[in-house]
Amino acid sequence: MFTLNINGAEHNVDVDADTPLLWVLRDELALTGTKFGCGLGLCGACSVLLNGKAMRSCVVPVSAVAGQAVVTIEGLSKDKSHPVQQAWIAESVPQCGYCQSGMILATVALLEDKPNPTDAEIDLAVTNICRCGTYTRVRRAIHRAARMQGPGAPKPEKV
């Protein structure tokens, strides 16, 4: 049994210690916004925030994250109001959308660290794969979100 802190709430899950956090989120907690893409931490579709940092949940066993703060795409806002979500809508970023939860969370972590990132900083931080090829709009939306979160911008509602 492991006690997890997901999106600010505690959950007890009875799974094998080696179960990747990804499958606990999806199959035990019905948080299906976190996606399975490769199982090797290569693609980023499974990205979540662990203590505020982007982390690929398909290669992290549940036993390693017990008690630590995990935020999934569902925990970003109640109403799509997080600046990164708003920027994503404004720039019409998603196509199929499957990789976008991971893209958005990688961006949230980046902006937490670097509120006004350069393109080079974006390149280093957002290494998620998108087969639809939304990269131009992803970059544009990251810059837009940075502006929205900048000095004077309204603060997002915390969940």
Partner 1 sequence: MAHITRREFVNAAAATVGGLALSLELPAQEAARLPGSPHPPRTPSAFLQIGEDDGITIITPAVEMGQGGHTALPMIIMEELGGSWDRLGVADAPAAAIYNNPLFGLQATVGSFSVRGWYTELRRIGAAGRIMLLQAAAHTWKVSANECTIDSSLVLHAPSGRKCSFGSVARLAASMPIPQDPPLKTVAQYTVIGSHQPRVDIPDKVDGSAKFGIDVSLPDMLYATVKTSPTFGGKLKSFDDSECRGIPAFRATVPLDDGVIVVASSYWQARKALDRVRVEYDPGPLAELDSAKVSQQLRAGFDEPGVVARNDGDVEAALASAAKRVEATYEVPYLAHACMEPMNCTARVTDEGCDVWCGTQNPQAAQAAAAKVLGVPPARVKVHVQYLGGGFGRRGEADFVAQAVTAAKALNGKPVKLIWSREEDIQHDFYRPAAAIRFRGGLDAAGKLVALECKVVTASAPNFGRPGGPPFFTEAVADANYQIPNFRVTGLNKDLGVRFGFWRSVNHSHNPFMFEGFIDELARSAGRDPYEFRRAMLQHDREGASRQLAVLDLMAEKANWKHPPPGHSFGIAAFGAFGSFIGTIVEVSVQGKVVTVHRVVQAIDCGVAVHPDNIRAQLEGGMVYGLTAVLRGEITLKNGAVTQTNFNNYPVLALPEMPKVESYIVPSTAAPGGVGEPGTGPIAPSLANAIYAATGTRVRSLPLSRNSFSYKAVRT
Residues that bind partner 1 (CB under 8 A): 15-16, 19-20, 23, 26-28, 30-40, 42-43, 45, 72-74, 76-77, 80, 85, 88-89, 92-101, 104, 119, 122-124, 126-139
Q: Which is nearer to partner 1, 56 or 152 (CB)?
A: 56
Minimum CB distance to partner 1, residue 138 (Å): 6
Tokens of 114: 């670097």
Instruction: Sort strands 69-71 and 2-6 into parallel, antiparallel or unpaired.
Output: parallel
Eight-class DSSP state of 25: I
Minimum CB distance to partner 1, residue 124 (Å): 8
Tokens of 158: 């915390």
Q: Which is nearer to partner 1, 93 or 148 (CB)?
A: 93
Minimum CB distance to partner 1, residue 11 (Å): 15
Q: How many CB atoms lie within 10 A of CB 103?
A: 28
Instruction: Sort strands 53-56 and 69-71 into parallel, antiparallel or unpaired.
Output: unpaired
Minimum CB distance to partner 1, residue 70 (Å): 14
Measured distance CA(25)–CA(57) in Å, rounded: 9
* Amino acid, res. 65: V
Q: Which is nearer to partner 1, 147 or 151 (CB)?
A: 147
Q: Which is nearer to partner 1, 60 or 152 (CB)?
A: 60
**Bridge partner list, 104:** none
